[in-house]
Amino acid sequence: MPLNLPDKLPAIELLKQENIFVIDHSRARRQDIRPLRIVVLNLMPLKITTETDMVRLLSNTPLQIELSFMKLRSHTPKNTPIEHMRAFYKDFELMRDERFDGMIITGAPVEHLPYEQVSYWPEVSEIFDWARTHVTSTLYICWAAQAGLYRHYGIPKHDLDKKMFGIFEHHVNRPLLPIFRGFDDVFYVPHSRHTEIRREDIELCPELDIISESPEAGVYMVMARGGREFFITGHSEYSPYTLDGEYKRDLGKGLPIEMPKNYYRNDDPSQPPLVRWRGHANLLFSNWLNYYVYQETPYDINEIR
């Protein structure tokens, strides 16, 4: 089944150019199927880019999905037109009585701040707590993964000497988990972050299970509550040129940035990226939707607890 998206969402036209089939609300309403309700709390500065990345991956499933976007009342984005936010996003306050089959919480460019100094920390903390009783399974990505682990389990983050930036090899610690069905022994994931969570901190919490790691990038995926929470430190959703854009942006600003590792062909920034993470990314999201959302959510969404 295709993805059921808000009418006129920019991602629709962008993804049609990639031959990805999506469906708008008016057509979906004529199909007698209860779609999976997925909500995205998009904390990234370039909202439309992140929306497109998410839709691209969520569309690769036979399940019909109704996608909604949540925003914070306590934060006004600077890089997305206010008309776009009004058209496609709803404040958490207006959604707090709703229930969803799945939720995705993105990264945010606030790594340099202690959590309590982030201007919207009180509201995002409330959303983290709300998700535990209103969502079947939640994916926390990058900063959200670190913040969620801190909020729910007290896991600290640690500054890195330099940015973890590039494409890194990963392996699976729990190969029989459904989230890894179809994975190769080694797979690749983009990372772009200045902080990390550490194995030794996580091992002190028996409620947490480190299910995937990288020899260079460290802890990649942590599972909790039997798959109702996944904390993912990388950016599997990134499009081929996202790291290229970040690299050239920082170079243009004169910031101390190294070339992303294992990214450009022949380590030459004048050549295109060598894309080798999309197969894993599609499997990750389709496995999550199938095994931890669709097969776990109650038929009556109001029964989610």
Does residue 305 form part of some domain? no
CATH code (residue 54) = 3.40.50.880
Q: How confident is the model at residue 45 (pLDDT cuts 50, 70, 90)?
A: confident
Residue 161 has pLDDT above 50, yes or no: yes
Does residue 304 form part of some domain? no
Does residue 133 form part of some domain? yes
- Residues 264-298: pLDDT tens digits? 999 999 999 999 999 999 999 999 999 999 988 76
Residue 77 has pLDDT above 80, yes or no: no
Does residue 303 form part of some domain? no
Q: Worst-scoring range by mean pLDDT, 11-20, 92-101, 135-144, 162-171?
A: 11-20
Show the domain range for 61: 3-297
pLDDT at 173: 97
* Phi–psi pair at 162, nearest 5 degrees: -150, 165
Give the pairing type, strands 187-196 and 158-172.
antiparallel
Euclidean distance between CA atoms 218 and 46, whole angstroms: 27
Q: Worst-scoring range by mean pLDDT, 6-20, 44-58, 119-133, 214-228?
A: 6-20
Does residue 46 form part of some domain? yes
Distances (CA, A) of 214 to 6, 13, 173, 177, 224: 37, 36, 10, 18, 19
- Residues 88-103: pLDDT tens digits? 889 999 999 999 999 9
Residues labelled as active-site residues: 142, 235, 237
- Residues 246-262: pLDDT tens digits? 999 999 999 889 999 99
